[in-house]
Amino acid sequence: MSAVRVLVVDDQVMIRSGIRALLETGTEVEVVGEAADGRRAVDMARALIPDVILMDLRMPVLDGVEAITRLRADATTADIGILVLTTFDTDQDILAALQAGANGFLGKSADHEELLRAVERVAAGGSSLSAVATDTVVGHLTRTARRQRPREAVSPEELRRAESLTAREREVTVLVAQGLNNDTIAERLFISPLTVKTHVNRAMSKMHVRDRAQLVVAALRAGLRED
């Protein structure tokens, strides 16, 4: 199995060096480049086509949200996994980053094993919200949605998509937005984890999102919550 190719993006050289050191302790990951701002990150991503980009949000020249937006709009880089580097208690752009196309989040204080697991999940096409970061990130998303409006108002189309969910799909989606994993949802609803996965996949299709992270955002934006 070939190593996961990673581009590290952060305006602080010490953080970039620390992440590189953690990633390169084994053979699973190869750091193919570093960038100190979003514009440079976009240029390097187009040239290198890494498997995963570790993306800071607050940077000079071009911030992380705009960089993600540009990467997703370019056919050359649209499918690259993007894992946002964040401090969960201070970053206010998490919803915007997910809406722009981030695949998940990683705290800058993460240890070696957390970092590798998150990178591997995103490289495999998954989201870091499906494992250890779920409770922290979903909690942040919920608090943010309650105290401030997203950058863009919810469109009628988004509301129609939410209304197209069946009662069970809506129920499962609400539990996903609360940070519960498939096994816990299965226990609560007295169904199998495979059935939960099916409902989650159908909900993602109807909500026009590609992963669990964006399903959380879509649910919160549409006002889906426990009755």
CB of 137 closer than 8 Å to CB of 88: yes
DSSP 128: G
134 CA to centre of own chain: 10
The residue with tokens 């969960």 is: 88
Domains within the chain, CATH numbers bracketed: 4-145 (3.40.50.2300), 156-221 (1.10.10.10)
- Specify the amino acid at residue 190: F
Distances in Å between the Cα of 62 and the Cα atoms of 38, 70, 72 are: 5, 10, 15
- Please give the span between the terminal C-alpha atoms of the chain, in angstroms, as a whole number: 47
Specify the residue for token string 């000079």. Answer: 60
d(CA 116, CA 178): 25
Cβ partners under 8 Å of residue 213, min gap 6: 98, 102, 103, 104, 105, 127, 128, 129, 137
The single residue listed with the structure tokens 């994993």 is: 181
pLDDT at site 130: 41
Q: Is 124 exposed, middle or buried (0-12, 13-18, 19+ CB in 10 A)?
A: exposed
Residues (pLDDT < 70) of the chain are 1, 88-93, 126-154, 226-227
pLDDT score recorded for residue 132? 40
Q: Cα separation of 141 and 144, whole Å? A: 5
Q: What is the pLDDT of residue 146?
A: 53
